[in-house]
Amino acid sequence: MKTIISCAILALCLAGAGCVKSPPMEAPPRARPVPAPLFKLTSLDGKEVTLRDFVGKPVIINFWATWCAPCIKEMPELESFYFKKKGDGLELLMINLKESKDVVAEFVGQNNFTFKVLLDETGKTSEEFQVFGLPSTYFVDRKGVIVDRHMGSLTSEILYGGFKNILN
């Protein structure tokens, strides 16, 4: 009889624990703004590109790879966002991580993407940005300062919020 009562009390406690309302999660604090690393990379069309080329413009930098499923999933959203906001001066730099130019060019061509694609063949630029997972996105203001960053898949809400932060 004691065993049955103990089991019943334990069951009620466990059931009650699931019913307790926990406080809502808060958004993580925004990272402190820091100057973006100045890089020099080659674009798919063979031109040298540096972040200094975009001083005075809001820039979104996205690190990606063709083998990264979340990267591929977010690319149409990035393309659409870029198409809508490039008239506002937005520059979107898609930095491919350590893949050959041929692989990247084939992927971009098959998908008809129009954003700038840069090649980080050595991984040095991703190290300078402290990328530790793909996709990783950095929102850089007109002065070359990273004011926001996001690791993982983007949503339109994240894109619009980050863009708003780099316009100010």
User: Structurally, how many domains does the chain consist of?
Assistant: 1
> Partners of 151 in the beta sheet?
136
* DSSP at 11: H
In a domain, 18, yes or no: no
In a domain, 122, yes or no: yes
Taking the complete model, does pTM exceed 0.85, yes or no? no
Strand-strand pairing, 136-140 and 59-64: antiparallel
In a domain, 80, yes or no: yes
The residues, any chain, with a CB within 8 Å of residue 124's CB and separated by 6 or more, are 39
In a domain, 14, yes or no: no
Digit-by-digit pLDDT tens for the chain (168 residues) are 556 555 445 454 545 545 445 555 454 556 689 999 999 999 999 999 999 999 999 999 999 999 999 999 999 999 999 999 999 999 999 999 999 999 999 999 999 999 999 999 999 999 999 999 999 999 999 999 999 999 999 999 999 999 999 997
Q: Which helix (H) or strand (E) holds 40?
A: strand 40-43
Which domain range does residue 70 map to? 30-167
In a domain, 11, yes or no: no
In a domain, 77, yes or no: yes
In a domain, 4, yes or no: no
112: CATH: 3.40.30.10
End-to-end CA distance of the chain: 70
- Please return the burial class of 167, using the count of CB atoms within 10 Å of its CB with bins 0-12, 13-18 and 19+: middle
In a domain, 79, yes or no: yes
